[in-house]
Amino acid sequence: MATTTAARRRAMAKVEYDAFLAVCPSRELLDRISDKWVTLILCALGGGPANPDHDGTGEPRPMRYSELARLLAGVSQKMLTQTLRSLERDGFVTRTVTPTVPVTVTYEVTELGLSLYQAVRGLKVWAETHMDTVLLNRETYDTTPAEG
């Protein structure tokens, strides 16, 4: 009986990932990365605005928790904390605590996070670019009498 190494077992399991299957762990990952706060946090850390006039295509840079909270209008402290923790757990961001008074906590996107940032940045830009058309379509749909 041949033994299977851990690397071989992981490789075999990877072949079996299929997000169309209810039990596939990639579904949980898709659920997490499709969250609006994940998208916006990664866009901020991956090259987000250093100032309000910036187009968001800058270089990745570390950001303090308070800076992220100010930038992400509408995010609650609880949601920002939970989202950052999940991103850290999955390896998309790193958290650095500097023992100052008060304590300084910064977040920085990892290489894995940068690869995801490349994908989600396109979604953010697409949404911003096509919002007028979507709003017009919604208005047309909502004011058109239903058939049947």
Query: Residues 87-102: what's their mean pLDDT?
Result: 95
The pLDDT of residue 10 is 67
The pLDDT of residue 128 is 93
Dig out the tokens for 88 from the structure.
């850290």
Dump strand ranges (E) for 13-147.
Answer: 63-64, 93-98, 104-109
**pLDDT single digits (tens) 44-85:** 999 876 544 444 567 899 999 999 999 999 999 999 999 999
Cβ-proximal residues to 47 (8 Å cutoff; 6+ apart), any chain: 56, 57, 58, 59, 60, 117, 121
Strand partners, 66: none
**Where residue 16 falls among pLDDT bands split at 50, 70, 90?**
confident
CB distance 34 to 27 below 8 Å: no
Rounded percentage of the chain residues whose pLDDT exceeds 70? 86
